């Protein structure tokens, strides 16, 4: 018969075995060894809504994804609902969706979030490093410099807007040669 103590020991053993596996999740190269603090405060009500990914640093959880979108919705409890959608294998591929919740980091001007995918098992940093004054584009990263997302409210922004985003990302210290340009079907 298994007692409570045995169950606790089994859970602890499972956690100890799982943590190294999580630590070896595929990570890309460091594209920015000195990630800056966010440039501006963020109004989560204005930031909310649909964003199209224009480019990113390739990462394991988005490998093979195109037509990537992210939707942010401020919740009544102060958290932010996050829904990421992509098409695996190309713009016409099968839909892959990931839902999360984010908590705004106190004292960050609402520009830093802790995003939890898969319940409490994975919490990642999400920093809105810069954005357009009208919230038409956003540059998102995190402290390690391994992740970068270039977002726009339009799936196909003008060449001028694309150039502004790329120029600003380079000014923030990001290696643009590592950016995977996301194909959008719209």
Q: What whole-number percentage of the chain has pLDDT above 90?
A: 75
Tell whether 15 is covered by a domain.
Answer: no
Tell whether 21 is covered by a domain.
Answer: no
Tell whether 147 is covered by a domain.
Answer: yes
Q: Which domain holds residue 162?
A: 44-181
Tell whether 50 is covered by a domain.
Answer: yes
In the DSSP assignment, the letter for residue 134 is: T
Tell whether 28 is covered by a domain.
Answer: no
Tell whether 19 is covered by a domain.
Answer: no
Span 11-56, pLDDT tens digits: 333 333 333 333 334 567 999 999 999 999 999 999 999 999 999 9
Q: How many C-beta atoms surround the C-beta of residue 39 within 10 A?
A: 15
Number of domains in the chain: 1
Distance CA 85, CA 30 (A): 25
What pLDDT, on the 0 to 100 scale, is given for residue 16? 32
Tell whether 30 is covered by a domain.
Answer: no
What pLDDT, on the 0 to 100 scale, is given for residue 116? 93
Tell whether 39 is covered by a domain.
Answer: no
Q: In this structure, what CATH number is given to the domain that contains residue 175?
A: 2.40.128.20
């Amino acid at each position: 018969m298994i007692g409570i103590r045995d169950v606790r020991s089994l859970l602890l053993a499972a956690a100890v075995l799982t943590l190294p596996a999580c630590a070896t999740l595929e990570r890309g190269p460091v594209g920015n060894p000195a990630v800056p603090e966010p440039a501006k405060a963020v109004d989560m009500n204005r930031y909310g809504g649909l964003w199209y990914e224009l480019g990113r640093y390739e990462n394991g959880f988005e490998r093979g994804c195109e037509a990537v979108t992210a939707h942010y919705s401020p919740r009544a409890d102060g958290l932010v609902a996050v829904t990421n959608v992509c098409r695996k294998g190309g713009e016409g591929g099968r839909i892959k969706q990931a839902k999360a919740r984010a908590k705004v980091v106190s004292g960050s001007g609402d520009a830093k979030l802790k995003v939890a995918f898969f319940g409490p098992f994975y919490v990642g940093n999400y920093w809105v490093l810069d954005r357009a004054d009208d919230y038409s584009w956003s540059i998102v990263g995190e402290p390690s410099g391994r992740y970068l997302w270039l977002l726009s409210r339009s799936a196909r922004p003008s060449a001028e807007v694309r150039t502004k985003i790329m120029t600003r990302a380079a000014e923030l210290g990001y290696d643009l040669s590592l950016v995977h340009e996301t194909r959008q079907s719209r």
